[in-house]
Amino acid sequence: MPAVTWQRLRLAGFGCYREGVTVGFQEGLNVLVAPNEEGKSTLVAGLEAVLFGLPNSGNPEAFGSARFANREEPDRFEGELEFLVDGRAYAVRRQFNNNRVTIRTRGAHGWEEVWRGSHNPAAHKRNPVYNEHLASLLGMTSRELFEATFCLGQPLPEGRALSSEVQKLLSGSGGHYQEALKMLADDLRALTRYCGDRGVGNNGRKDARLEELQAEIDSLRAQQQATGSTIEELAAVRSRLQELAAEIKAVRVQLKKQQDLLAAWDGWRALQLRYKSALREQKQAGAVQERARELEEKICRHKELAARSYPEWAGAPAGSAGKLDRLAELEQAIARLKGEAANWEAQLRDLNAEQEALTARLQGELAAVADHPDILRDLEDLQSLLKEREELEGQVRELAARAAETAAELAALPDFSLLGNSPATVLEGLQVAARQLLEEWGRFQEQQNRYKELEAELAGDLSCFAGLLPEKETLLANYAATRLALEREEQAARDACRRLEEQKAACRRREEEFRREFGDLEDLGEEALQAATDKPRILEELQAREAARKAALAACRRRRLATALGLAGAGLVGGLVTGLATGNWLPALAAALVLAGLGYAAGSYLGRPGRDILDLTAAITTLQGRLAQLDAILGPWAGATAAELGELRQRLRERDRVQEELATLAASLPGTAEEETARQALEAATRARSDFQAATAAISARFSDVTAAYRRYLATREERRRLAAEMESFATKVVGAPPSAALTVPLAGLGSPWPGLASLARLAGQAPVTVGELLTWLKELDHAAWEDFLARAQRWEELTYLSRQVQEKREQLLKPDKEGRTALERLAKKIAALERHVAPFTAATDPGAVVPLLEEAGRIKERLGELAGRRQAAGSRVKDLQEQIQELEPEAAGLREDLAALLAPGGGEAGKALERRQAYEQLAREWHGWQEQLAGLLGEGDLEDLATAYLDAANRTVAVLQEWQDLVREHPGLPEPGGETKGEELEEQYRALRAGIIETEGRLRRLEEEERQLLRRQSQLEGSQIANMAIVAETLAAREKELERLELEAGALALAYRELAAAARDYSQNYRRELARTASRYFNLFTGHRERQVDITEDFQVEVREAGVVMALAQLSRGAQDQLYLSLRLAIGDLLSANLTLPFIFDDCFVNCDAARRERIRESLAALALERQLILLSHDPDFAAWGMPVKIEK
């Protein structure tokens, strides 16, 4: 497939490059390592700006001139990019300030200009010619797509979805098929508004040509039908109008009767309500009168009963009831206070007796613990001191025995003090040091063996690479890439020659197709299209002029006939009058004939054709001449219909378009010089490949993979050098001697860990002198020996520490105080004092026997305190109650004296007197309530007034009933008044009457509306004109034919739209699946996880599946996310490389990868560099060895 290779980039005034910079690239992997902020990303932006343009934007954050124009106002602001496309050199130069672009190519005679013009990336309408050149060279015209696909910037973007430009690429929404879909949809919308019903977008709002044609056809058909039925319809309308007049009159009479009956019903219902109201008032008046009489009788009976049963209260003085209430309250209070005082006196006696008994117990049986509450604590202290003295004596004896045992065990162990105070720790360090030394010396011996193997290998089959010249080494270093490049150049040259032949063959085929398709139009010139366009319009104009002339001639004939007849008639009448007046008919007849002749002549003169008719005739003649000219131009299509002329116009336009395409195609055909250049390029490529094969024939015959063999030679030579350096460095660092004498170095004078290991050997009974002897002994030590050394050293440390602790403890226990007494003597003194304090109890006394005595003594003391408080409270309460009784008794005696007359009927008891008063008050409340009810019934009148009101209500009821009966007699259909008719039945009859009226009114409205419609229709029919059936039929046939043709065209457009859209969906699905497979392959290669698969969903979301389960991208490390994005970019690049292979640019995008994944990426890029150019930009110097350095000239 054709490959694109960037060769040279020149920038001036762009970003940080004010004076200009030139960057050179080579095939394969190019590496540019430079610190941050040194313009690496600016070079990438400059490359994009040269190709796709730099918008003149004022936003410094957007891709535009405000961001990348140098602020020091340089003389030049331009860029140029040289690159190879399929082996052919091109150069694009752009002036950023005015967007002037020049495209050149290198031919046999140097650089040749291909195109020059202006290309503004921010313009609404882009330059199509430049975009065509860009698409043919790079396969794309979008900077965003280029950046999202082949330019991996810093940092790698985050997110789960592909960029919008890549989505367009995969879905096809950015391709030319969308323009075709839009054209198909626009053409279909011009034909019909119902595009959605045909599967193309949504239905429109306005009618299009198909709907307009259908409406016109419907109108013409309606005219056909209307013209034949107008007279019959007019007769039917007039007949129906007569019938409607009679029906409307009858309905109006029926409606008047129903409305009168409804009014009578309303009156009947009003009288019914009035009668019910009057009857209700009559009943209420009777009930009130009866209730008043009953209340008056009950009041009289209650007053007589109160006077007989309670005479003392009938005349009792005012305030007697309150005094009686106070007396009853005082007697109750005095009785309550006396009872309460007696209770408190009994409680006081009980408390005194209990106090005396408790005091006697404290002074008798509990006297030993009554004044000694801490006896239990003192007993516990005594027992603790005795126990402490016993333990101290045991410790002294035990320490003496342990000191003897420790001394005997230490004597049996080696003297590990040679290794310091912590021999176990030192041993652990020596063990680690010994293991490291043995491992390092093991590696040292392995390196010596490997060094000998490498020398043998270099002296064997790889010896042919020794002593080669530098230019031959260069060929061998890039053997596969050089061979592949030469083969590609040869194939590219061969393909270029083949394409030239294919272009000429394609042009010949297209010319033959043009002759077959448009051969019948060969006799029609360029003016035929205009003639086919003008003829339908001129035909319509001619028909209109002829119709206008015909109408004008008819009007002129009518006017001439009327004038001639009028004048002739006037002459005859004049002659007749003359004959009657003179009696001589012959002269009169002659005069009449002469006048009639003169009148006819005058009418003929006055009715001659006017100026407008002459103008119409001249215009018709001119149009006919123009039609003749057009027919002469159209030739065989002179008699074509309007539809056929429309089809002819389309074919003529298509012929002109194809002619332009043929001319463009012929202009693009290669010339003889270009064909010769292509042939020479093929010969040169073939010769270069042959020369390369001859130069490397000897080595390629020996090795099947020359590049791999040469790399093995370089790797072997480099490994030998590295091993020699490492062995020299190790021997010098460890023993300070060359590798050959390392094992014979004496141990004396060496630094750590050699002295410690030598001391350990002496403890084991060995005496090594040299490094080799010590290493030999260390190799013999197994893990068990080291564990034994460590265990004995740890035991030595433990015994030493234990001996020191025992000695310190004995000294502490036997050390005297300031007074010269030991701890045992001090304890004996404390014990004697405490025994005297707890007597009569001793240390042998059981505390369980003392606890109940202490608890009982405590309870008695607590109870005595409680009793003292309660005795004091009881005495105070008795005294208070006696004082209250003395205060209440004088007031009660006075009230009894005042109420003696009221107390006498009750035997002098206040309670019984209170009961009699309550019974009297109950009777009084009842008659007072009845009096209030009676007053409410009478108001300001009396019983006679109530009787009069009842009589008036009865009279009103009779009057309403009489009026109701009169109404029923006037309207026999109404129900009888006062009957048993239920309200539901009456309401049902009323609703039925109302419904009948509504129905009659509705029927009347419908008849009147029908009458109005018929009158309107009669007016329309009487004023309408009968259409020309022949013209209508001809027009209808033409419109139906056009409708059929447009229906077929609309169906074809809809079918083409649906098929093209379905093909685009299939395209997107297939390419998404292929992209996911390729991205999974790269992702597995970078991460080493074969079970992870990349998937692209229908909405272009990126998913990672591991063992069939979707992983969230946040679960991946930052490095894995970067590698996933890199895999997608490479997969998209492979997908696009099916037609054209563009270089990849990596701008500091591997910063989050660890060393292992960097190595996998390096290997992948090295393999990818054999197929396409790669450019790696980074600030990390570790990447410098990945490829060839980029050349920069400032």
675 Cβ contact partners less than 8 Å away, ≥ 6 residues apart: 497, 500
Boundary (domain end) residue, out of 966, 995, 1023: 1023
pLDDT over threshold 70, residue 950: yes
- Tell me which residue has tokens 């606890």: 851
- Lowest mean pLDDT segment, chosen from 127-141, 144-158, 860-874, 1066-1080: 144-158
User: In the listed set 920, 935, 950, which residue is the last one of a domain according to the structure?
Assistant: 935
In this structure, are 122 and 245 located in the same domain? no
549 within some domain = yes
713 and 697 share a domain? no
CA angle 263, 266, 267 (to 5 degrees): 90
d(CA 606, CA 560): 6
35 and 62 both lie in a single domain: yes
Number of domains comprising the chain: 6
Q: Are residues 881 and 898 in the same domain?
A: yes
Residue 686: pLDDT band with limits 50, 70, 90:
confident
Residue 1111: inside a domain, yes or no? Answer: no
Instruction: Say if residue 981's pLDDT is above 60.
Output: no
Instruction: Indicate whether 5 pLDDT > 90.
Output: yes
579-616 burial, b at 16+ Cβ within 10 Å, e below that, comes to: beeeeeeeebeebbeebbeebbeebeeebeeeeebeeb
User: Taking residues 336-362, what's their average pLDDT?
Assistant: 81
| CA angle (574 as vertex; 568, 577 as ends), nearest 5 | 145
Q: Is residue 1075 part of a domain?
A: no
Same domain, 727 and 803: yes
Q: Is the pLDDT of residue 160 over 50?
A: no
Q: How far is CA 704 from the centre of its chain?
A: 58
User: Which whole number is the average pLDDT over 1115-1124?
Assistant: 75
Percent helix, percent strand, percent coil in the chain, to nearest 5? 75, 5, 20
Query: Does residue 837 form part of some domain?
Result: no
pLDDT for position 575: 56
Average pLDDT score over residue span 403-415: 79
Collect all residues with Cβ–Cβ distance below 8 Å to 537 and sequence separation of at least 6: none
Least Cα distance to 1006 among 52, 114, 247 occurs for 247
In the sheet where 1109-1111 sits, what is the strand order?
A: 1092-1096, 1102-1106, 1109-1111
For residue 1030, pLDDT over 70 is answered with no
Between CA 666 and CA 508 the distance in angstroms is 9
CB atoms within 10 A of CB 890: 8
pLDDT at 8: 95
- The residue among 1091, 1099, 1160, 1098 whose CA lies nearest residue 1130 is 1160
- Comparing 743 with 1003, the larger pLDDT belongs to 1003
How many Å apart are CA 86 and CA 106, to the nearest integer? 13
Examine the domain organization and report whether 717 and 805 are in the same domain: yes
Q: 30, 301, 31, 15: which is closest to 1179 by C-alpha?
A: 31
Per the listing, tokens 């994944």 go with 1157
**Do 454 and 719 form a contact (C-beta atoms < 8 A)?**
yes
Residue 179 lies in a domain: no
561 pLDDT tier (thresholds 50, 70, 90): low
CATH of the domain at 298: 1.10.287
pLDDT tier for residue 643 given thresholds of 50, 70 and 90: low
2 and 120 together in one domain: yes
For residues 531 and 521, is the Cβ–Cβ distance under 8 A? Answer: no
Q: Residues with Cβ < 8 Å from 587, sequence gap 6 or more?
A: 578, 579
**Measured torsion, CA atoms of residues 558, 562, 565, 568, in degrees rounded to the nearest 10:** -130
Q: What pLDDT does 155 receive?
A: 46
Same domain, 222 and 241: yes
In this structure, is residue 56 part of a structural domain? Answer: yes
What is the model's pLDDT at position 156?
Answer: 45
Say if CB 133 and CB 115 are below 8 A apart: yes
Predicted confidence band of residue 830 (pLDDT cuts 50, 70, 90): confident
In a domain, 529, yes or no: no
Nearest-Å Rg of the Cα atoms of the chain is 67
Long-range pairs, 534-539, Cβ under 8 A, ≥24: 534/626, 534/630, 535/627, 535/630, 535/631, 535/634, 535/645, 536/642, 536/645, 536/646, 538/623, 538/626, 538/627, 538/630, 539/627, 539/642
Provide the pLDDT for residue 603. 55
- Distance, CA of 165 to CA of 142 (rounded, Å): 8
In this structure, the answer to whether residues 743 and 761 fall within a common structural domain is yes
- Is the dihedral angle over the CA atoms 895, 896, 901, 903 positive or is it negative? positive
Pick from 780, 796, 813: which residue ends a domain?
A: 813
Q: Kindly tell me if the per-residue pLDDT of 51 is higher than 90.
A: yes
Output the pLDDT for position 173.
45
Parallel, antiparallel or unpaired: strands 1109-1111 and 1102-1106: antiparallel
pLDDT: which is higher, 1084 or 1144: 1144
**pLDDT higher than 70, residue 586:** no
Helical segments of 317-422, H only = 320-363, 367-370, 375-412
Please give the pLDDT value at position 594.
Answer: 59
Report the distance separating Cα 406 and Cα 168, nearest Å: 89
If asked whether residues 131 and 11 sit together in one domain, one would say: yes
Preceding omega of 840 cis (within 30 degrees of 0): yes
Q: What totals of helices (H) and strands (E) does the chain contain, helices first? A: 33, 15
DSSP 8-state code for residue 398: H
Tokens found for residue 367: 């006297």
Name the nearest CA neighbour of 115 among 125, 128, 101: 101
pLDDT digit string (tens) for 363-408?
777 766 677 777 777 777 777 878 877 777 777 777 778 888 888 8
For residue 1044, give both structure tokens. Answer: 């059929």
Average pLDDT, the chain: 78
Contacts of 514 (CB under 8 A, 6+ apart): 655, 658, 659, 662
The pLDDT, as a whole number, for residue 1022 is 65
678 within a domain of the structure (yes/no): yes
Q: Are residues 18 and 133 in the same domain?
A: yes
Q: What pLDDT is recorded for position 1174?
A: 92
Q: Is 71 exposed, middle or buried (0-12, 13-18, 19+ CB in 10 A)?
A: exposed
Do residues 250 and 331 share a domain? no
- Provide, rounded to the nearest whole percent, the portion of the chain with pLDDT above 90: 7
pLDDT at 1037 over 60: yes
More confident: 178 or 293: 293
Strands 4-12 and 21-24: antiparallel
Please give the pLDDT value at position 1136. 66
pLDDT above 60 for 314: yes
CA distance 592 to 579: 10
Range of the domain at 754: 413-459+708-813
pLDDT at 145 over 90: no
Gap between the Cα atoms of 119 and 101, Å rounded = 7
Residue 236 predicted with pLDDT over 60: yes
CATH number of the CATH domain containing 17: 3.40.50.300
How far apart CA 1137 and CA 1139 sit, in angstroms, is: 5
pLDDT at 148 over 70: yes
